[in-house]
């Protein structure tokens, strides 16, 4: 079985996106947002069948861990009430996708984070999504300000109430920023990768996992710059008097395979233990074109992993077993060894 740990609903029905625009306009005008529209099941099917599901079938992916579109989380906009309303309708839409395609998708929630608002305000939505909607994890934005980094580091105690809830519910978080408002950064080309690298460095500098030994965090996009500069991070840990990374960080942190060329995947697997790598593609996501050097889609990451020629045990770990270990609630939805045809 092949589990893709990193999928976003980038093809959501137009009515959903239009409501967000109306909500934003209403907020700026000091008015109440309009009622959320009725979206038919057929609209959801149309948005999935020709997009994510089609590519999953073509690429041999059995299950995608699916969340709202990351760039549209928009935590930087509005206030806490706006973020809560937007998170709720976005998560409810993911739940409907999972309900329509239970063999192919598992839900991960957007949190209603807002700059300057304690993260405790996100716990109720996390609980609702896990206990009522059956979601298996959440996306956690380390920078709700949209590229201005006004929040405390992820290791600050202000984040601890959320971590306590995550551990209680036994769900991980993918550390994933949203849109960027700082003109110095391109969203997917720099802001995302900067955030991945920044989050890892924050974790290196502190003892978060001593306080939360069961906390699990997925750093996407292959870990940002971390694998490429692994010697730098090992050296910094030594210079700062920190324990070796294998002891202090890598028991709780995992990278995905959203790296869009073969040399990058080769490096990732050379530097990082296969026990810390989850298969992911971010399809349909940041890079949607065809690589002229290979003739294949950049985000067809299964092709790169298969080319490594991993031993069967390592291959199974990367494609399925590591995801089940990091997202244990998956076993309630799709028991190990049960393979259902995509769609």
- Say how far apart CA 75 and CA 144 lie, in whole Å: 5
**Residue 327: both structure tokens together:** 């997202």
The order of strands in the sheet holding 3-9 is 3-9, 63-68, 105-110, 137-140, 173-175, 217-219, 253-256, 277-278
- Known active-site residue 164: no
Closest CA to 17 of 5, 9, 26: 9
Alpha-helical (H) ranges within the chain are 14-29, 41-49, 52-59, 80-100, 123-127, 160-169, 192-205, 208-211, 230-239, 245-248, 262-271, 301-307, 312-316, 322-326, 330-333
Rounded CA Rg of the chain: 19
- Say how far apart CA 57 and CA 196 lie, in whole Å: 29
Name the catalytic one among 28, 58, 282, 320.
282
Which residues participate in catalysis according to the annotation? Answer: 282
């Amino acid at each position: 079985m092949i589990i893709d740990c990193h999928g976003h609903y980038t093809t959501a029905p137009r009515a959903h996106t239009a409501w967000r625009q109306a909500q934003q306009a209403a907020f700026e005008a000091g008015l109440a947002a309009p009622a959320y529209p009725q979206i038919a099941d057929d609209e959801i099917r149309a948005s999935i069948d020709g997009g994510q599901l089609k590519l999953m079938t073509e690429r041999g992916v059995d299950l995608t861990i699916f969340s709202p579109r990351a760039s549209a989380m928009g935590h930087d906009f509005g206030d806490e009430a706006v973020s809560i309303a937007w998170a709720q309708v976005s998560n409810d839409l993911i739940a409907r996708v999972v309900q329509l395609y239970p063999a192919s998708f598992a839900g991960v929630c957007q949190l209603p984070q807002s700059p300057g608002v304690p993260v405790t305000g996100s716990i109720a939505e996390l609980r609702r999504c896990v206990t009522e909607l059956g979601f298996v994890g959440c996306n956690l934005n380390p920078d709700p300000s949209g590229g201005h980094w006004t929040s405390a580091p992820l290791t600050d105690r202000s984040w601890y109430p959320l971590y306590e809830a995550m551990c209680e519910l036994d769900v991980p978080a993918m550390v994933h920023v949203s849109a960027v408002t700082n003109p110095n950064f391109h969203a997917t080309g720099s802001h995302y990768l900067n955030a991945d690298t920044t989050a890892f460095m924050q974790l290196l500098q502190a003892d978060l996992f001593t306080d939360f030994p069961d906390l699990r965090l997925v750093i996407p996009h292959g870990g940002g710059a971390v694998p490429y500069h692994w010697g730098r991070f090992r050296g910094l840990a030594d210079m700062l008097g920190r324990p070796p990374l294998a002891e202090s960080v890598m028991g709780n942190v995992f990278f995905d395979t959203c790296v869009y060329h073969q040399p990058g995947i080769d490096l990732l697997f050379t530097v990082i233990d296969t026990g810390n790598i989850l298969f992911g593609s971010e399809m349909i996501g940041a890079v949607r074109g065809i690589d002229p050097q290979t003739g294949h889609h950049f985000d067809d990451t299964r092709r790169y992993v298969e080319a490594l020629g991993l031993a069967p045990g390592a291959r199974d770990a990367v494609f399925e077993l590591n995801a089940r270990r990091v997202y244990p609630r998956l076993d309630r939805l799709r028991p190990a060894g049960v393979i259902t045809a995509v769609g």
